Structure 1
Amino acid sequence: MSATASERGREVRRRLTRAARELVPERGWAAVSTRTVAERAGVAPGLVHYHFPSLQALLAEAAIGALREALGATADLLERARTPDELVELLVAEVDRYTGADPASLLAVETHLAATRDPALRGELAGLLEDFRGRIAAWLAEHGVGEPEATAAVLAAALDGVLLHRALEPQPTGAVTPVLRRIVAQHGGR
Structure 2
Amino acid sequence: MARPTTAERGREVRRKLLDVACRLIAERGWTAVSTRMLADRAGVTPGLVHYHFSSVQALLSEAATGAMRDYLAQAPGLFDRADSPRRGLELLLGELDRHTGLDPQSLLFIEAYLAATRDDALRGEISAVVAEFRSRVADWLGRCGVADPDGTAAVLAAAIDGVLMHRALSPGMSGADVAPVLGRILAPAAGERGPHETEGTGDPA
Question: Could you report, residue by residue, the CA deviation over 1:35-65 in whole angstroms, capped at 9, with x for unpaired residues?
Answer: 0000000000110000001100100111011
How far apart in 1 are the matches of 2:6 and 2:79? Answer: 41
Q: Which amino acid aligns with 1:31?
A: A
Q: Which amino acid aligns with 2:182?
A: L
Is the contact made by 2:147 and 2:187 (CA closer than 8 Å) also made in structure 1?
Answer: no
Identity %: 57
Counterpart check, 1:73 vs 2:78 = no
1:175 matched residue in structure 2:
177
How far apart in 2 are the matches of 1:33 and 1:66? Answer: 19
Q: Which amino acid aligns with 2:26?
A: P
Question: Could you report, residue by residue, the CA deviation over 1:68-93 in whole angstroms, capped at 9, with x for unpaired residues?
Answer: 11101102012111211111111111
Counterpart secondary structure, 1:140: helix
Q: Which amino acid aligns with 2:25?
A: V
Q: Which amino acid aligns with 2:21?
A: A
Question: Could you report, residue by residue, the CA deviation over 1:89-131 in whole angstroms, capped at 9, with x for unpaired residues?
Answer: 1111111111110000000000001111111111110001111
Q: Which amino acid aligns with 1:28?
A: G
1:163 matched residue in structure 2:
164
2:153 matched residue in structure 1:
152
How far apart in 2 are the matches of 1:147 and 1:15? Answer: 42
TM alignment of 1:16-95, pairs within 5 A: 16-95=17-96
Question: Which one has a bigger Cα radius of gyration?
Answer: 2
How far apart in 2 are the matches of 1:175 and 1:104? Answer: 22
Provide closer, same or farther for how the CA distance between residues 124 and 186 of structure 1 changes in structure 2, counting only shifts above 3 A.
Answer: same
Counterpart secondary structure, 2:187: helix
The range that moved more, 145-154 or 177-186, is 177-186
Q: Which amino acid aligns with 2:139?
A: A
How far apart in 2 are the matches of 1:187 and 1:70? Answer: 30
Provide TM-score, normalisation by structure 2.
Answer: 0.89
How far apart in 2 are the matches of 1:48 and 1:187? Answer: 52
Provide TM-score, normalisation by structure 1.
Answer: 0.96
Question: Could you report, residue by residue, the CA deviation over 1:140-180 in whole angstroms, capped at 9, with x for unpaired residues?
Answer: 11111011111111111111100000112212232111011
How far apart in 1 are the matches of 2:13 and 2:22? Answer: 14
Unaligned segments of structure 2, at least 5 residues: 195-205
How far apart in 2 are the matches of 1:65 and 1:181? Answer: 30
